[in-house]
């Protein structure tokens, strides 16, 4: 049963909310500018509550069950985060208020900057980027600004391994670089020989996802970083997979120069059905002056009687502002809440259990699915969703069939270097029982693929709706449920 749209349940004259009467004398309205028609729906409050409650029930979510979507780190979102982020003192703070009136907010931003520096081993952090992809863009712009500041205008190429995150090539070209593909070796590492050949005085840098999208930690990471540095390039770390490294190693110590961090992955802030995310960027000392404007700092040291005064500072060679105001403050509060409740031991335990869960699943599933890179994984791993003796069955079919078993499918068809990829990231918040249920389902599906492939082709069977016609959607382009001229 599909849910009608808000325009379909609208009834002329109905209202969802009444505002207080005007308490000042009315002024003349600007006739020339008044709109004649305001084509919005008309619903009661209960109409709205029922409609959106019905819609919510059509969604799969972490709260509803296992969500092993690779590279997205779908861990549990603690409820206390929602409480702290909604405290009225935070929620009702205007971003342009005088700094003296928002010291609480500024302390939170400062603490998160400092904490992220310590966790990642970098020297300076901006909290401004709105999402990981914007963080990547900031990192790329910093790379560009750094080379230009040295008068080094030849560096136009950014190396992107084929095991990197999908946004990396688009980010590089958006930042005005030419992305150059670097292949992987047989063990899923960056091909060091090829990297050496590709590095020259036109190399602006390397965008390295480590652990990469195969879930593998590069076995030659120090050598890889050194090769790029020797060529005069910078090494950018895509921090989307930071969950595997918390308290275990610090990318800054390994020699990375820049890294973005996804607060909505590693630090438990909700994914919101597709955002808001938050993508802080951390850099080594020599790049701090290029960070986006502004950064939170102590602008007057405290005394015995007075606490320090926090405020904004403007990095001298900043790449500029990349969005309004100071970043996704509400997400920043949630992430800091989470980190403060973990402490150093808790963070390390997060990484250890995320990696334990992934290796446990990998060990149990490699009997039934092809595991193209068979070595200890980090927080995720990639299987092939295809068998030579199960003709016509694809990763997509496995993914759809998993829904019938009540679970969210893994990321599929990514990374591109694995045939019919199924990328599985369990996260540390899932119990052994949940993982065992998933393993059972995956094993059954592998069996079905051979014995009853039609079950997979026709899946899902138990969802609110069947497989949807994506070709029709792109051809007909119905992007809006109601327009005034249709009346």
Partner 1 sequence: MFIPHTDVERQEMLKTIGKKELSELFNVIPEEFRYPELDIPPALSEMEAQQQFSNLADANNACDEMACFLGAGAYNHYVPATVDFLLHRGEFFTAYTPYQPEISQGTLQAIFEFQSLIANLTGMDIANASHYDGATAAAEACISAYHHFRGKRPKLVLSPNLNPQYLETIHTYFGMLDGSKLLVPEEQTAFSDPDQLATLVDDQTALILMQYPDFLGNIYDLTALTTKAHEQGALVAVSVNPIALGLLKPPADFGVDFVVGEGQPLGIPMSFGGPYLGFFATRKELVRKISGRIVGETVDGQGQRGYVLTLTAREQHIRREKATSNICTNQGLMALAATIYLSLLGKSGLRQVAELCYHKAHYAAQQIAGLEGYKLINNQPFFNEFVVECPKNVSVINQHMLEHGLIGGYDLEKSYPKLKNQMLVAVTELNSREEIDLLVDLLEEARHE
Rule CB under 8 A: which of 177-236 touch partner 1?
179, 217, 219, 221-222
For position 440 contacting partner 1 by CB under 8 A, the verdict is no
Rg (CA), the chain: 25
For position 466 contacting partner 1 by CB under 8 A, the verdict is yes
CB nearer to partner 1: pick between 134 and 184: 134
Q: Which of residues 468-487 bind partner 1 (CB under 8 A)?
A: 468-470, 472-474, 476-484
Provide the 10 A C-beta neighbour count for residue 145: 17
For position 398 contacting partner 1 by CB under 8 A, the verdict is no
CB nearer to partner 1: pick between 218 and 448: 218
For position 242 contacting partner 1 by CB under 8 A, the verdict is no
Edge-to-edge order in the sheet of strand 124-126: 124-126, 281-283, 258-261, 234-239, 203-209, 157-161, 178-182
Please give the Cα distance from 312 to 258 (Å, whole number). Answer: 22
Assess contact for 3 and 58: CB atoms under 8 A: yes
Q: Which of residues 266-325 bind partner 1 (CB under 8 A)?
A: 268, 270-278, 292-293, 319-325
CB nearer to partner 1: pick between 187 and 447: 187
CB nearer to partner 1: pick between 39 and 450: 39
For position 333 contacting partner 1 by CB under 8 A, the verdict is yes
**Tokens of residue 134, six digits:** 């914007």
Q: Which of residues 75-134 bind partner 1 (CB under 8 A)?
A: 75-78, 80, 82-98, 100-105, 107-108, 115, 118-119, 121, 130-134
Please give the Cα distance from 456 to 465 (Å, whole number). Answer: 16
Assess contact for 47 and 9: CB atoms under 8 A: yes
CB nearer to partner 1: pick between 344 and 392: 344
Segment near partner 1 (CB under 8 A), from 199-207, 298-306, 386-394, 409-417?
Answer: 409-417
For position 23 contacting partner 1 by CB under 8 A, the verdict is yes
For position 367 contacting partner 1 by CB under 8 A, the verdict is no
Segment near partner 1 (CB under 8 A), from 24-32, 283-291, 384-392, 442-450?
Answer: 24-32
Query: What is the DSSP annotation of 288-309?
Result: GGGSPS-EEEEEE---SSSPPE
Residues counted in the chain: 487
Q: What is the closest distance, in whole angstroms, from the C-beta atom of residue 294 to partner 1 in the complex?
A: 11
Assess contact for 251 and 266: CB atoms under 8 A: no
Q: Which residues contact 456 (CB under 8 A, 6 or more apart)?
A: 393, 397, 398, 400, 401, 445, 448, 449
Q: Which of residues 124-153 bind partner 1 (CB under 8 A)?
A: 130-134, 136-137, 141, 144
Q: Among residues 196, 203, 201, 198, which one has the least CA distance to residue 144?
A: 203
Count of residues touching partner 1 (by CB under 8 A): 199
First to last CA, the chain: 26
DSSP for residue 190: B
CB nearer to partner 1: pick between 130 and 446: 130
**CB-based burial, 33-52: b 16+ in 10 Å, e otherwise:** eeeeeeeebebeeebeeebe
Q: What is the closest distance, in whole angstroms, from the C-beta atom of residue 78 to partner 1 in the complex?
A: 6
Q: Among residues 256, 260, 317, 321, which one has the least CA distance to residue 288?
A: 317
Provide the 10 A C-beta neighbour count for residue 261: 28
**Tokens of residue 189, six digits:** 């590492």
Applying CB under 8 A, among 431, 440, 447, 450 the residue interacting with partner 1 is 431
CB nearer to partner 1: pick between 184 and 268: 268
CB nearer to partner 1: pick between 450 and 472: 472
Applying CB under 8 A, among 66, 68, 72, 239 the residue interacting with partner 1 is 72
Segment near partner 1 (CB under 8 A), from 282-290, 341-349, 418-426, 449-457?
Answer: 341-349
Applying CB under 8 A, among 161, 409, 415, 426 the residue interacting with partner 1 is 409
CB nearer to partner 1: pick between 154 and 450: 154
For position 33 contacting partner 1 by CB under 8 A, the verdict is yes
């Amino acid at each position: 049963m599909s849910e009608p749209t808000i325009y379909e349940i609208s009834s002329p004259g109905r209202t969802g909310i009444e505002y207080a009467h005007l308490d000042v004398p009315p002024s003349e309205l600007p006739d020339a500018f008044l709109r004649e028609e305001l084509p919005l729906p008309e619903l009661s409050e209960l109409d709205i509550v029922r409609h959106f409650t019905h819609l919510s029930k059509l969604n799969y979510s972490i709260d509803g069950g296992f969500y092993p979507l690779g590279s997205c780190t779908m861990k549990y979102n603690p409820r206390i985060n929602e409480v702290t982020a909604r405290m009225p003192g935070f929620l009702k703070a205007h971003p342009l208020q005088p700094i003296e009136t928002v010291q609480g907010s500024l302390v939170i931003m400062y603490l998160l900057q400092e904490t992220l520096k310590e966790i990642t081993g970098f020297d300076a952090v901006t909290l401004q980027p709105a999402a990981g992809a914007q963080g990547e863009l900031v990192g790329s712009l910093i790379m560009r600004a750094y080379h230009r500041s040295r008068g080094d205008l030849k560096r136009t190429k950014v190396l992107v391994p084929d095991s990197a995150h999908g946004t990396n090539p688009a980010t590089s070209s958006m930042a005005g670089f030419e992305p150059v593909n670097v292949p992987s070796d047989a063990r899923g590492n960056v091909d060091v020989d090829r990297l050496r050949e590709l590095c020259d005085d036109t190399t602006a840098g390397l965008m390295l996802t480590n652990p990469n999208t195969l879930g593998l930690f590069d076995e030659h990471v120090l050598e890889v970083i050194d090769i790029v540095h020797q060529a005069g390039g910078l090494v950018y770390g895509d921090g989307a997979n930071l969950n595997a490294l918390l308290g275990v190693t610090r990318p800054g110590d390994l020699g990375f120069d820049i890294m973005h961090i996804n607060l909505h992955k590693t630090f438990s802030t909700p994914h919101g059905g597709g955002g808001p995310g938050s993508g802080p960027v951390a850099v080594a000392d020599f790049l701090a002056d290029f960070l986006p404007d502004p950064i939170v700092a102590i602008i007057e040291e405290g005394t015995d009687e007075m606490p320090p005064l926090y405020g904004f500072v403007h990095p001298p060679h900043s790449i500029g502002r990349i969005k309004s105001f100071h970043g996704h403050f509400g997400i920043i509060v949630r992430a800091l809440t989470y980190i403060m409740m973990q402490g150093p031991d808790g963070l390390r335990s997060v990484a250890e259990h995320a990696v334990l869960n992934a290796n446990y699943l990998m060990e149990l599933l490699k009997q039934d699915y092809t595991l193209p890179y068979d070595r200890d994984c980090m927080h995720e791993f990639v299987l092939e969703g295809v068998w030579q003796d199960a003709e016509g069955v694809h990763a997509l079919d496995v993914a759809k069939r998993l829904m019938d078993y009540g679970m969210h499918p893994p990321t599929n068809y990514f990374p591109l270097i694995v045939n019919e990829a199924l990328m599985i990231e369990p996260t540390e918040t899932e119990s052994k029982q949940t993982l065992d249920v998933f393993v059972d389902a995956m094993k059954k599906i592998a069996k079905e693929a051979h014995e009853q492939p039609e079950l997979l082709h026709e899946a899902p069977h138990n969802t609110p709706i069947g497989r949807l016609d994506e070709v029709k959607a792109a051809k007909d382009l119905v992007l809006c449920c109601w327009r005034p001229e249709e009346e």
